[in-house]
Chain A
């Protein structure tokens, strides 16, 4: 399983764009990159997933450079309700990588 490294915490203000970067230097060829969001006292919720280049949905964008050793979750115009922990996961369903392993995540605090 590829190990991921994220900042422990980030602060932002309402209306700003927030970028959270995740490092995954030993990502394997079959691995996808997935981000989850967790609010206090709730289970994590899927945000976005990608393999390479850029993926965008109604919530966020995910930027993955050509070497795939890092990825950046971009949240446009954050609001107070985006305050949460964001987890980056790397893995695939092939071989032994059936586990879904979370790192420590990034605590994003959005300030008024």
Chain B
């Protein structure tokens, strides 16, 4: 039982490049989330999903896309990377049952230069 696994751990992108941040969970959780955390700041919700095939925008969705084709995977796509997307990205999941705790991955540190 690995929990929530994020890959890669670190990445440097050039402006205008694209990439996909991977997130996988093996706990059969319905709910999954993507956050970004800028230095010294709190977590901002980018996108979330309540189940396979269902996604919705969070607080800061611009510049990102997501898909949820399976329960286990919730990849985050960055198109045309910009320096403002330099951040640490966290993926999380939790069960559908009411008021359960969320489990977070270890994060992906992304730098756009």
Contact = CB atoms under 8 A, between A and B. Distances in A.
Nearest to B35: A102
A104 B58 contact: no
B110 interface: no
B74 interface: no
Interface string B42-63: 1111001010000000110000
B104 A104 contact: no
Contacts of A98: 31, 48, 50
Given A93-B96, A94-B98, 20 more contacts: A36-B102, A41-B88, A41-B107, A43-B92, A43-B104, A43-B105, A43-B107, A44-B92, A44-B102, A46-B101, A46-B102, A49-B99, A92-B99, A93-B99, A99-B45, A100-B45, A100-B92, A100-B102, A102-B43, A105-B42
A99 B59 CA distance: 10
A104 B42 CA distance: 5
B34 to A, nearest CB: 11
Nearest to B40: A107
Contacts, number: 63
Interface string A69-112: 00000000000000001010000111000111111110000000
B41 A99 contact: no
Contacts of A19: none
A42 B106 contact: yes
B42 A87 contact: yes
B101 A49 contact: yes
A21 interface: no
A49 B94 CA distance: 14
Interface in A10-46: 32, 34, 36, 41-46
Interface in B26-82: 31, 33, 35, 41-45, 48, 50, 58-59
Contacts of A99: 33, 45, 48, 58
